[in-house]
Amino acid sequence: MKNRYDVVIVGAGPAGIFTALEMLRQGTKQSILIIEKGKAIEKRSCPKHKVGKCVNCKPCNITTGFSGAGAFSDGKLSLSEEVGGDLPSLIGAEYAKTMIDYTDGIYLEFGADPHVEGLGFTEEKKEIRRNAIAAGLKLVDCPIRHLGTEKAQEIYYAIEQYLIDNGVEIEFNRECLNIVIDENETCTGVIVKDKGEEVVIDAGTVVIATGRRGADWLEKLCAEHNIAHQPGTVDIGVRVEVRNEIMERVNNVLYESKLIGYPAPFKNKVRTFCQNPGGFVSQENYDNDLAVVNGHSYKDMKSDNTNLAILVSHNFSTPFNQPIEYAQKVGELTNMLGAGHILVQRFGDILDGKRTWPEELSQSNVKPTLPDAEAGDITAAMPYRAMMNIINFIIAADKVVPGFASYETLLYSPELKFYSNRVKMDKELTTNIKGLHCLGDSSGWTRGLMMASVMGVIMGRKIVENEQK
Ligand SMILES: Cc1cc2nc3c(=O)[nH]c(=O)nc-3n(C[C@H](O)[C@H](O)[C@H](O)COP(=O)(O)OP(=O)(O)OC[C@H]3O[C@@H](n4cnc5c(N)ncnc54)[C@H](O)[C@@H]3O)c2cc1C
């Protein structure tokens, strides 16, 4: 590692790596360093597969390392500009769609499956939409390219090798501690940890792409360096798991049923997210020991269940404007009740006002795919407003997916999505600090693999455009 580069990218998630990749594709001559606090993709592995439970790796191998939260993710590329965050409101929906198609082409070049889920079935789709309308829900059309967890790792490994072979330096196991801002409000570099010492690396351009896990770190940077931002949204919800038979029709026709509703009495936005046919519910651990639930599916290994998230968006303004902290408290309380484990409860028990007991889970058709989830009472920790939104949304969704609101339907908690702290940027992805750009999920503008990758591609192009001026 040298002490000066033209471009320093913090975070080797999709946003960071597609910045470097697109710079190479556009013929850059600039030196590029990527700083990543996790490992190279080929060295990432989650011990849970061997020992059967989460051993709290620091940093977590599931969410850190080359390709970020994307490596072990389900690898579902959403090919619609209506899904994956608010980037289209910044750059324009049409341009966003063009860039999705271009970026999808890059994934194909690196070996993604050419098959796209969710196309065709016009009549069946119409009927599902009719039922959604009758239930007061909006159905969003979103074709999906499903990489699958194993394939996603192969594709990202190929990208990692391509970057290294083409001169991009990647420093793994290296954490960025801060950025350097000079008296002219220009970002001139970053401060990293090197064998216990703090080392400054100078850079002409700094790109922060630290993902969901780096959102609270970036929030601290914004406060310290007056980076213009606004409090964003957090999503609080549950991961729902049902038998595949219940979801069979929507799984076949849509692959992912993206439903949005505003249920009474609160009329907050509630949506489905990250649907995994034949998938597995999983646990993610944040650095502050917060255990949250997630889900993924493999291309070849299938379970008997489908899982998906139901999320309720929360915004705060005054006097309280710390959405991340709010969601963390909900998560901590839920973890406390589960003795550090994810809590699971049957939907019918929630309506009956009772906890679920472990032996009751075995009476159902649906068997939990997260075996170390603790049967209990999620309603003891979930705020009333969020819980009512979720209950009423599930009842409405039952009109689209009969059986969805069954007694045995499993609800896992806490499912938290931290998108907070939206960094204020213009179309050029420029912040109010010269030389500093913020991308991907940590910037608050994206929420998914494709949109984070697209933001990286746009960033890469902008940097090379400026280089060639
Ligand atoms: C289990 C799981 C399943 C998912 N499934 C899907 C899916 O199927 N489809 C989909 O579209 N999205 C999915 N997602 C979300 C998707 O992975 C993210 O939206 C996407 O990875 C965001 O990309 P990013 O580059 O912004 O950030 P990330 O992928 O989070 O990458 C950020 C990187 O920055 C590094 N970093 C953070 N702080 C520092 C620091 N201070 N110094 C150095 N490095 C740092 C991290 O180690 C990480 O590698 C899933 C997420 C998870 C966790």
pLDDT value of residue 35: 97
- Confirm if 20 and 32 have CB atoms less than 8 A apart: yes
Q: Could you tell me which of 356, 367, 352 has the C-alpha nearest to residue 413?
A: 356
Q: Which atom of ligand 1 is nearest to the CA of 174?
A: 43
Average pLDDT of the residues in 387-398: 98
Which residues are within 8 A (CB) of 325 and not within 5 positions of it... i.e. 6 or more apart? none
Distance 359 CA to ligand 1 centre (A): 36
Residue 144: pLDDT above 80? Answer: yes
CB distance 65 to ligand 1 below 6 Å: yes
Distance 65 CA to ligand 1 centre (A): 9
Q: Over the chain, what is the mean pLDDT?
A: 92
CB distance 210 to ligand 1 below 6 Å: yes
What's the start-to-end Cα distance of the chain, in Å?
28
Which of 113-117, 119-123, 251-255, 416-420 reaches the highest mean pLDDT? Answer: 113-117
Distance 210 CA to ligand 1 centre (A): 8
Q: Which atom of ligand 1 is nearest to the CA of 440?
A: 26
- Domains of the chain: which residue ranges? 4-112+147-230+422-467, 122-142+233-418
For Cα atoms 456, 459, 465, give the angle at the middle one, nearest 5 degrees. 145
pLDDT value of residue 420: 57
For Cα atoms 441, 444, 448, give the angle at the middle one, nearest 5 degrees. 35
Q: Mutation test of ligand 1: which of 220, 441, 447, 458 has the most ligand atoms closer than 8 Å to its C-beta?
A: 441
Q: Which atom of ligand 1 is nearest to the CA of 294?
A: 1
Q: Which atom of ligand 1 is nearest to the CA of 176?
A: 42
CB distance 142 to ligand 1 below 6 Å: no
Average pLDDT of the residues in 258-281: 94
CB distance 456 to ligand 1 below 6 Å: no
Q: Which atom of ligand 1 is nearest to the CA of 296?
A: 3
Specify the DSSP class assigned to residue 444: T
Q: Could you tell me which of 4, 7, 3 has the C-alpha nearest to residue 461?
A: 7
Q: Which atom of ligand 1 is nearest to the CA of 73?
A: 3
pLDDT category at 194 given cuts 50, 70, 90 is confident
Distance 310 CA to ligand 1 centre (A): 20
> Considering only CA atoms, which residue is closest to atom 27 of ligand 1?
211
Tokens representing residue 337 in the block: 């009740």
pLDDT value of residue 306: 97
**Per-residue pLDDT tens over the stretch 77-96:** 999 998 898 899 999 999 99
- Confirm if 307 and 279 have CB atoms less than 8 A apart: yes
> Considering only CA atoms, which residue is closest to atom 18 of ligand 1?
448
What's domain 4-112+147-230+422-467's architecture? 3-Layer(bba) Sandwich (3.50)
**Count of beta carbons in the 10 Å neighbourhood of residue 198:** 10
CB distance 251 to ligand 1 below 6 Å: no
% of the chain residues with pLDDT over 90: 75
CB distance 14 to ligand 1 below 6 Å: yes
User: Which of the two residues, 241 and 313, has the higher pLDDT score?
Assistant: 241
pLDDT value of residue 119: 84
% of the chain residues with pLDDT over 70: 99
Which of 43-47, 141-145, 325-329, 353-357 reaches the highest mean pLDDT? Answer: 353-357
pLDDT value of residue 46: 80
Q: Mutation test of ligand 1: which of 1, 39, 63 has the most ligand atoms closer than 8 Å to its C-beta?
A: 63
CA distances from 257 to 6, 146, 313, 343 (A): 43, 14, 18, 25
pLDDT value of residue 69: 86
Q: Which residues of 97-114 are buried (b: 16+ CB within 10 A; e: fewer)?
A: bebbeebbebbeeeebbe
Rounded Cα–Cα distance for residues 418 and 440 (Å): 12
Residue 245 has φ and ψ, to the nearest 5°, of -55, -35
Q: What is the DSSP string of 80-125?
A: -TTSSBSHHHHH-HHHHHHHHHHHHHHHHHTT--S--BT---HHHH
pLDDT value of residue 418: 77
pLDDT value of residue 466: 93
- Cα torsion angle, 437, 441, 447, 448, sign: positive
**Count of beta carbons in the 10 Å neighbourhood of residue 427:** 11
Rounded Cα–Cα distance for residues 351 and 388 (Å): 10
Tokens representing residue 113 in the block: 């499956």
CB distance 443 to ligand 1 below 6 Å: no
Q: Mutation test of ligand 1: which of 213, 446, 459 has the most ligand atoms closer than 8 Å to its C-beta?
A: 213
Distance 59 CA to ligand 1 centre (A): 13
- Confirm if 375 and 355 have CB atoms less than 8 A apart: yes
Tokens representing residue 138 in the block: 């909006």
